[in-house]
C-alpha cells in the first residue's frame, strides 16, 4: 500500500472514456510514474508572450512656472522622456492552421508590440486579434503560422474536483515550467478578475509569468487558462485560478468569426443574490439561486415569461448558486438556440425556455469625442443600447449617455471618470443623447455640476469651468 500511495502521488493513467465510471488505480499497471509523455505532446503549444510599448513621461511640472524657467530655461527638460514598458506572460496555441494563440488580456493590454516565443527558441511577431476585458482573455494572430502544435479545448463540464491537472507556463521569466496539482474547486466567483466569473481553483503552482498559460487535464486538453493567484507574498501558496475552457472557446470562436467584440447572448434582466432568510421563506434548503430584480421590456427574459421576484435555480439542468454562476452559464451558451431555466415562482418550479439572441443596437450609438474645455474633456460618450451595456458590463435597463472610452492623461481621467459611467445631467439639465452633451459643453461656464450614475449609485460633483 505504501508503494501504491507513492505511485499515486506521481500520477494516474488517462481517464476512461466519457460515460465510464472513474476509479482509483488498484494495480501498478494502472499507474503511470511520469507525466513526461503528456508534457511532450503538449509543451510545444505553450508559449511565452512578450509585450512592449513606448511611454512618454511628462516634462517636469516645475518648468511650467516662469520663475523656474528664468533660472533653468528649457534646457532639454521640456522634451518628454521615453520609457519602454514591458510585460511578460504565457499563451497557448489553440489553432495551428490559423496561427491563433490565447493569452490573458492583462498581459498584452495597451502593448504596441507583441511577440510570441516558442520552446524551440523561435520568436514570432503577433497582432492582437481580439481583446475581452470581461473575461481577461485575448486572442493573438501569429505572423508566421508554420510548424505549429495546438492543444484542443476540453469540455469543462466533464471536470470534477479532485481531477489531476498540470499547469504550464513561464513563471518569473525563467522558461517553460510544468507543475502538477488537482482541481481544488469549481465555479469560484468574486476573484476580482473580469466580470464573467466562474473560475477553476487548483493547487498546482501558478506564479507571476504563468498568466495566460495552460491548465491541462490527463488527456492533454486545455481545461482552463491560468490567470490569477491568491497570495500575500506574490508567489504560489497553492491557491490558483484558471478561466474555464468553455469561456475560452466563446472568445476564440468570436475571434475566428472576425468579431470586434465577443458575441454573448443577451438576457435582459438584473439579478440579485438569494439571502438565507429569503431562501428559508421559499422553502429552499440553502440560499442557492438568483432573484430577478427587474426585467427589460421586450428583452429575452421578459419574452420567455420571467417575472420580477422569480428565483432562477438552474440553467440547462446545471445548478446556479448566484448571479455570477448564472452569468457564466448563460454567457457560454451559443447564440441562435434556446436555453432552459428552472425557475421557482410562488412555491412551484417551472421551466422557461429563453431564446439566445445577441444584444441589439436599439438606437445608434452616435459616438462623440469630447474635446471642449471642461471636466469631461477626453471622454468618448455614446447613446446607451443593450449591446453597449453588454460590452461595458453595466445594467441593460439604463438609458441615457454612457462613457465608452477615456483618453489616458486627459482632464476627465484625472478627475476620476470611469468607463461605464452614465451621464445623467449637466448643470441640472438632463442629458438624453450624446449630441446634447457635446452641445452644452460648448458654452463657457464658471463651474460645472455633473451628475452621473455608477454601479447603481447617483453621484453629483462640482468642478471649476
Give yes or no for a contact between 139 and 255, defined as CB atoms under 8 angstroms apart. yes
Beta bridge partners of 181: 165
In angstroms, how far apart are the furthest CA atoms of the chain? Answer: 86
| Euclidean distance between the first and the last CA atom of the chain, given in angstroms as a whole number | 79
* Residues flagged as binding site: 106, 136, 209-211
Nearest-angstrom CA–CA distance, 148 and 267: 38
* Residues flagged as binding site for substrate: 106, 136, 209-211
Which residues fall within 8 angstroms of residue 43, CB to CB, at 6 or more apart? 119, 168, 176, 178
What phi and psi values does residue 80 have, to the nearest 5 degrees? -60, 135
Question: Per the residue annotation, which of 90, 95, 132, 136 is the catalytic one?
Answer: 136
Nearest-angstrom CA–CA distance, 399 and 258: 29
Question: Per the residue annotation, which of 184, 198, 211, 245 is the catalytic one?
Answer: 211
Question: Per the residue annotation, which of 87, 106, 132, 314 is the catalytic one?
Answer: 106
CA–CA distance from 267 to each of 9, 292, 317, 326 (Å)? 44, 11, 18, 10
Give yes or no for a contact between 217 and 154, defined as CB atoms under 8 angstroms apart. yes
In 3D space, the residue among 244, 230, 134, 135 whose CA is nearest the CA of residue 186 turns out to be: 244
Kindly state the cell numbers that stand for 76.
532639454
In 3D space, the residue among 171, 153, 239 whose CA is nearest the CA of residue 204 turns out to be: 239
CA–CA distance from 300 to each of 29, 316, 419 (Å)? 54, 16, 26
CA–CA distance from 247 to each of 12, 157, 278, 386 (Å)? 27, 12, 31, 21
What phi and psi values does residue 125 have, to the nearest 5 degrees? -70, 150
211 in active site: yes
404 in active site: no
Nearest-angstrom CA–CA distance, 447 and 8: 71
Which amino acids are annotated catalytic? 106, 136, 211
Amino acid at each position: 500500500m505504501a508503494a501504491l500511495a507513492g505511485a499515486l502521488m506521481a500520477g494516474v493513467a488517462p481517464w476512461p472514456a466519457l460515460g465510464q465510471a472513474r476509479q482509483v488505480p488498484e494495480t501498478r499497471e494502472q499507474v503511470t510514474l511520469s507525466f513526461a509523455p503528456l508534457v511532450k505532446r503538449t509543451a510545444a503549444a505553450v508559449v511565452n508572450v512578450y509585450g512592449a510599448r513606448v511611454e512618454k513621461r511628462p516634462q517636469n511640472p516645475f518648468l511650467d512656472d516662469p520663475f523656474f524657467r528664468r533660472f533653468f530655461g528649457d534646457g532639454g527638460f521640456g522634451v518628454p522622456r521615453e520609457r519602454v514598458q514591458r510585460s511578460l506572460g504565457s499563451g497557448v496555441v489553440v489553432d495551428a492552421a490559423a496561427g491563433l494563440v490565447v493569452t490573458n488580456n492583462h498581459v498584452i493590454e495597451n502593448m504596441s508590440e507583441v511577440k510570441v516565443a516558442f520552446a524551440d527558441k523561435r520568436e514570432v511577431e503577433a497582432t492582437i486579434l481580439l481583446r475581452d476585458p470581461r473575461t481577461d482573455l485575448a486572442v493573438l494572430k501569429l505572423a508566421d503560422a508554420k510548424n505549429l502544435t495546438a492543444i484542443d479545448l476540453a469540455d469543462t463540464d466533464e471536470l470534477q474536483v479532485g481531477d489531476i491537472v498540470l499547469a504550464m507556463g513561464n513563471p518569473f521569466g525563467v522558461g517553460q515550467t510544468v507543475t502538477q496539482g488537482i482541481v481544488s474547486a469549481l465555479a469560484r466567483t468574486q476573484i476580482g478578475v473580469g466580470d464573467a466569473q466562474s473560475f477553476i481553483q487548483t493547487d498546482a503552482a501558478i506564479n507571476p509569468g504563468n498568466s495566460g498559460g495552460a491548465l491541462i487535464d490527463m488527456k492533454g486538453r486545455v481545461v482552463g487558462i491560468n490567470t490569477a493567484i491568491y497570495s500575500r507574498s506574490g508567489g504560489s501558496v497553492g491557491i490558483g485560478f484558471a478561466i474555464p475552457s468553455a469561456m475560452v472557446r466563446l472568445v476564440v470562436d468570436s475571434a475566428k468569426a472576425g468579431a470586434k467584440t465577443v458575441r454573448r447572448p443577451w438576457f435582459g434582466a438584473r439579478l440579485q443574490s438569494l439571502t438565507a432568510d429569503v431562501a428559508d421563506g421559499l422553502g429552499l434548503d440553502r440560499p442557492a439561486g438568483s432573484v430577478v430584480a427587474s426585467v427589460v421590456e421586450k428583452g429575452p427574459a421578459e419574452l420567455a415569461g420571467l417575472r420580477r421576484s422569480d428565483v432562477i435555480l438552474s440553467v440547462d439542468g446545471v445548478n446556479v448558486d448566484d448571479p455570477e454562476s448564472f452569468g457564466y452559464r448563460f454567457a457560454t451558451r451559443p447564440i441562435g438556440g434556446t436555453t432552459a431555466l428552472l425557475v421557482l415562482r410562488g412555491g412551484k418550479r417551472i421551466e422557461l425556455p429563453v431564446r439566445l439572441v445577441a444584444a441589439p443596437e436599439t438606437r445608434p450609438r452616435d459616438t462623440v469625442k469630447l474635446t471642449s474645455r471642461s471636466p469631461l474633456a477626453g471622454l468618448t460618450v455614446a447613446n446607451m443600447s443593450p449591446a453597449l451595456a453588454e460590452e461595458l458590463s453595466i445594467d441593460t435597463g439604463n438609458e441615457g449617455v454612457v462613457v465608452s472610452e477615456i483618453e489616458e492623461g486627459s482632464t476627465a481621467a484625472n478627475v476620476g471618470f470611469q468607463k461605464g459611467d452614465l451621464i445623467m445631467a449637466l448643470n441640472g439639465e438632463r442629458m438624453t443623447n450624446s449630441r446634447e452633451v457635446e452641445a452644452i459643453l460648448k458654452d463657457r461656464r464658471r463651474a460645472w455640476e455633473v451628475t452621473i450614475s455608477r454601479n447603481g449609485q447617483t453621484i453629483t460633483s462640482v468642478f471649476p469651468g
